[in-house]
Amino acid sequence: MLLCVTASHKTASFELLERLSRHPETVAPSLMAAGVQGAVVLATCNRFEAYVEAEEVDSEAVIETVAQATGIPSADLSGSYQVVDDPHVAEHLFSVASGLESVVSGEGEIAGQVRRALSGAREQGTTSPQLERLFQRASQAQRKVKNVTALHRAGRSLVRLSLELADSRIADWSAERVLLVGTGSYAAVTLATLRERGAVDISVYSPSGRAVPFAKKHGIRPVSADDYATVAQRSSLLITCTTTEMVLGPAQFERPAGAAAGCPVPGHSASQLVIDLGMPRNVDPAVAQLEGVALLDLETIRLHAPLEELHATDAARDVVREAAESFHLDGSRQSVTPAVVALRTHIFGLLEAEIDRARRRGDENGMVEQAMRHLAGVLLHTPTTRAHELAAEGRADDFHAALETLYGLSAESGSASDAATA
């Protein structure tokens, strides 16, 4: 059984999402220790989701484990999450992976984040066969949405939207002194989008010390830890997009002592725009109160997110629903596979015994053997087909019961009872 506990920009504040996302790597191992069969955690700037597989899933126990692993009291989580139960988990994840649940419908970054969530679970040893299949199918659904609908062409990424919002403050992108803080996947997307808009004076600083290789790869200037404060103050546009826990406060942006408000300081922009794409939050909201500094953070970006492209979204949701139905149908078929295998093993065991007996009686040309093999195939066709039909209807247990009643076969053991084989 699958279950998802999800907190997103639709249900939770960015402050809570930020707290949940500080140490997501602790959650899946904690869930495994609590007794689930598998766990995958998806933590992004707009959502925190725990996907679990267990024979019996207690949503309250999952939530309590998440609370303990993240250090957030259960009371603080109350009302900020949703529980998606087994029949709807696939459609939910497929929608998330396709960008249908993002701040900006159709944004592309989420697909990579879903893939990395599965990779992280593999590294931690917390995934399971069912979760593997779920997340792999999510990536397949996302690619189909991208290929057969206009959603990704109509949708815009958070990075692109933030820079579009910055257009109202920037007359000439080529004249901006840009400092990029972070070197992850968002930083690469941000850099490419900045260049699309004409920015050329770009530096990069990495709290984790990866500025030099990133700068060399992308042809921009690295900033050392010693020079960071000076470069940050002199930049006209500062964009943070790092998952490293760092918070830039007013002290990093205040003008030097003695400088009159509104008067340019040599080497310092009279008007500085700060874009915070980090999760956890990289910039203290109090920075927005400083004179000469404007702050654009995820919460502000969400308020300016465009209306969904209705036709593209409707088509994408149709693709997602079909993919989820296919996922469940395949899962249902898999649920009766052990029983079908048990039946076939039993029948072919009897067949081989009869063929051996026929050979001993002189079936030298194999005519009897050929006829018996054909008959066995014919006899197995209908129950095999019916098993899959019952599974698709959610009645796999009926097939298991029939197998036990008629043949004394257990799907787990794959063998007949003594009475059936006597």
- Active-site positions? 45
Query: Angle at Cα 352 formed by Cα 347 and Cα 354, nearest 5°?
Result: 95
Question: Helix axis angle, 158-166 relative to 185-196, nearest 10°?
Answer: 40
On the question of a cis peptide bond just before residue 280, with omega within 30 degrees of 0, the verdict is yes
Residue appearing with tokens 């149908």: 329
C-alpha 73/C-alpha 31 separation (Å) is 16
What residue type is 404 in one-letter code?
A: E
List, in sequence order, every residue forming a beta bridge with 275; answer none if it has no partner: 239, 296
Three-state secondary-structure class, residue 297: strand
Nearest alpha-carbon partner for 138 in 114, 169, 158, 107: 114
Rg (CA), the chain: 29
Instruction: Dump strand ranges (E) for 106-190.
Output: 177-181
Q: Are 309 and 99 in contact (CB under 8 A)?
A: no
Pairing of strands 177-181, 82-84: unpaired
Q: Residue 308 is inside which H or E element, if any?
A: none
- Give the pair of three-digit tokens for residue 85: 């139960």
- Give the pair of three-digit tokens for residue 94: 């497929």
* 152 contacts: CB under 8 Å, gap ≥ 6: 99, 106, 108, 145, 146
- Give the pair of three-digit tokens for residue 200: 């050329």
Handedness of CA 397, 398, 401, 403 (dihedral sign): negative
Q: Are 47 and 99 in contact (CB under 8 A)?
A: no
Three-state secondary-structure class, residue 350: helix
C-alpha 292/C-alpha 303 separation (Å) is 23
